[in-house]
A and B are shown apart, each in its own frame.
Chain A
Amino acid sequence: DVVVTQSPLSLPVTLGQPASISCRSSQGLVYSDGSTFLNWFQQRPGQSPRRLIYKISNRDSGVPDRFSGSGSGTDFTLKISRVEAEDVGVYYCMQGTHWPFTFGPGTKVEIK
Chain B
Amino acid sequence: QVQLVESGGGLVRPGGSLRLSCAASGLTFSDYYMAWIRQAPGKGLEWLSYIRGDGRHTAYADSVKGRFTISRDNANNLLYLQLSSLRAEDTAMYYCVTGDQVRQPDYWGQGTLVTVSS
Contacts and interface: CB of A to CB of B under 8 A. Distances in A.
Interface in A62-112: 92, 94, 96-97, 99-106
Main secondary structure of the interface of B (DSSP, over half): loop
B118 interface: no
Interface residues of B, number: 19
A17 interface: no
A69 B25 CA distance: 30
Contact of B104 (A37, A92, A99, A103): A37
B104 A96 contact: yes
A48 B44 contact: no
Nearest to B60: A100
Nearest to A94: B45
Contacts of B46: 103
A97 B103 contact: yes
Contacts of A48: 95, 108-111
Nearest to B4: A48
Interface in B29-58: 44-47
B44 A100 contact: no
Contacts of A105: 44
Interface of B: 44-47, 59, 61-62, 95, 99, 101-106, 108-111
Interface of A: 31, 37, 39, 41, 48-51, 54-55, 60, 92, 94, 96-97, 99-106
